[in-house]
Chains A and B, each alone.
Chain A
Amino acid sequence: MTNGEKYVAAAYLVVFLFVLAYVLIMATKLTRLRRDVSELVELARQREEKVEPKQVVVG
């Protein structure tokens, strides 16, 4: 590999690495979103439990 070829490879790799970094950031973001969603699911479930006993009493 000549010097010029090395630099060309480096330039293309940099672009690739940027896209990879983007994927990494997106992955952390998705993890956070998943955590938020499971928190919300938990909240929704608690609500349901709160509502249900009442229905039992009434019924």
Chain B
Amino acid sequence: MRNNTVVAFAALTFALMTAAISLIFFYVPTDADQGFSQKIFYFHVPIALTAYACFGYGALKALLHLWRRSPGADLESYVAIHQGVIFGALTLITGSIWAKISWGVWWAWSSNQLVLFLVLFLFYSAYFMLRFSVEPGPGRANMSAVYALFGVVLIPVSFFAIRLANDFIHPTVFTSRGPQMAGSMFLTFCVSCAAMLSLAYTLYRVELLGKRLDADLKDLKELLT
């Protein structure tokens, strides 16, 4: 039953990703201002949004763990945050490449989103350090859940802080995309977003499946010996 959802989502991801890449390179007109390089936008921004979605989903599962004690919520929260960190790293890399094209530098402190992702990346990397240095058990599950909830509060607080910091560090604020998107651009963007979300969800299910299989095998071994 559960395996079927993974397969369905893998197929959906395949279809959406094919559609997104076709739309990006063969349908949507090249941006008048930024030229061909603007096409990074259709991958970079959906990846960033997916990372937020993963962090949010992880925090939701953390809340369920603390509140309802749902079994398995701890593992699900961990795997979701793991996906978030992978997509966060991708956001940093694609963002850095975009900064290189647009502003000629590999890193722009004036790009609020990039800086925010750097902070979040550090924060959630520490989440893994915490998890790997505490004995597995209910205590670790609680701690991870509390830390994951802190993360979801830290996102808006950090965003606001970075906006504030720009006032005294960089007076100029770059806007990385135009105020309005044409219809074809918006369509491509939406398909791309759906593709990324579906990819993240598939990877999440695959990883969860692997982790659960691991746990089942361990139980089986204990039963047999």
Given a CB threshold of 8 Å, the question of whether A touches B is answered with: yes
Count of A-B residue pairs with CB < 8 Å = 63
CA distance A2 to B101 in the complex (A): 11
A47 to B224: give the CA distance in the assembly, Å: 8
- How does the 8 Å CB contact mask read for A17-31 relative to B, with 1 for contact and 0 for none? 011001000100110
Given the known inter-chain contacts A33-B213, A43-B224, please indicate yes or no for A4 contacting B43, CB distance below 8 A: no
Q: Kindly list chain B residues whose C-beta atoms are within 8 Å of the C-beta of A30.
A: 210
- Secondary structure class of chain A's binding surface, majority of residues: helix
A43 contacts B225, C-beta separation under 8 Å: yes
User: Is the CB–CB distance between B225 and A8 below 8 Å?
Assistant: no
* Contact, CB under 8 Å: A14 / B37: no
Q: Which of B101, B203, B213, B225 has the most CB of A within 10 A?
A: B101
Asked if B221 is at the interface (CB within 8 A of a chain A CB), the reply is yes
Cα A39 to Cα B37 with chains together (Å): 52
Closest to B213 in A: A33
**A14–B93 touching, CB < 8 Å:** yes
Is the Cβ of B36 less than 8 Å from the Cβ of A5?
yes
Which chain A residues in 20-59 approach chain B with CB under 8 Å? 22, 26, 29-30, 33, 36-37, 39-40, 43-44, 47
* A3 CB contacts on chain B under 8 angstroms: 101
List residues of B (38-71) whose CB comes within 8 Å of A's CBs: 39-40, 43-44, 47
* Binary flags per residue of B171-185, CB closer than 8 Å to A gives 1, else 0: 000000000000000
Note all chain A residues with C-beta closer than 8 A to B170.
Answer: none
Contact check, B97 vs A40: say whether CB atoms are below 8 A apart: no
Nearest opposing residue in chain B for A41, CB measure: B224
Taking a contact as CB atoms under 8 Å apart, the answer to whether A18 and B224 are in contact is: no
| Cα A30 to Cα B86 with chains together (Å) | 20
Residues of chain A contacted by B221 (CB below 8 angstroms): 36, 39-40, 43
| Contact call B214/A4, Cβ cutoff below 8 A | no
Across chains A and B, which 5 residue pairs bring their CB atoms closest together, nearest first? Answer: A4-B37, A11-B97, A43-B224, A11-B94, A7-B101
Give 21 pairs: A residue, B residue, CB < 8 Å, sorted on A. A2-B36, A3-B101, A4-B35, A5-B37, A7-B97, A7-B100, A8-B37, A8-B101, A11-B98, A12-B43, A15-B94, A22-B203, A33-B210, A33-B214, A33-B217, A36-B217, A39-B221, A40-B220, A43-B224, A44-B224, A47-B224
Report which B residues bind A (CB closer than 8 A): 35-37, 39-40, 43-44, 47, 86, 89-90, 93-94, 97-98, 100-101, 199, 203, 206, 210, 213-214, 217, 220-221, 224-225
Task: Identify the A interface with B (CB < 8 A).
Answer: 2-5, 7-8, 10-12, 14-15, 18-19, 22, 26, 29-30, 33, 36-37, 39-40, 43-44, 47
